A and B are shown apart, each in its own frame.
Chain A
């Protein structure tokens, strides 16, 4: 079964600094997607960034980038120039290529200090 592990329950970063959130996963599949979702106190899950496993190039979205290490089954999120609005729960997630049964990690709570 696919599992997603986030080993950092909480992280803190100074405003304008850079922070990296860690995620590892376990799967026997070769074709899949990985995601980072942001969940603010409003509870609405917002997709931050997505990585297709067949792509070697790491995905980037403005201040957000990932370090995808397929052999190591590692998928970390780097947030550059952190802003107060980045404070939220961040969930790493895995989905098989047909998008069924998305599996989420337990989440990392990110605090941004002014």
Chain B
């Protein structure tokens, strides 16, 4: 079974430029997550999709960040314009669905995209 795919693996941009990251989840996984991991910290959830609908985007800086999952499969995360503090690893994860009751569905992570903003 293929894992979560992300591209690019690395990106270097100047501040105020735009950047986009792509994620292809595991086939059949309805739930997709984007996390931001700043150096020295644990990942922080930015946005969660269930199929093509947003479940939680409470921690997404909506003035500059946007994300979409139009066909309920792959997803794109965009930053426009980028700031120095956006330098981080952006992780995508997917699960078969959100858990309910005592059910749990493991999140599988991709390799991440390391963004450097100069």
Contacts and interface: CB of A to CB of B under 8 A. Distances in A.
B89 interface: yes
A91 B37 CA distance: 12
B43 interface: yes
Contacts, number: 68
B43 A52 contact: no
A99 B112 contact: no
B110 interface: yes
B118 to A, nearest CB: 21
A107 to B, nearest CB: 6
Contact of A45 (B58, B91, B114): B91
B112 A44 contact: yes
A101 B109 CA distance: 15
Interface of B: 31, 33, 40-45, 48, 55-56, 58, 89, 91, 93, 95, 98-102, 104-107, 109-112, 114
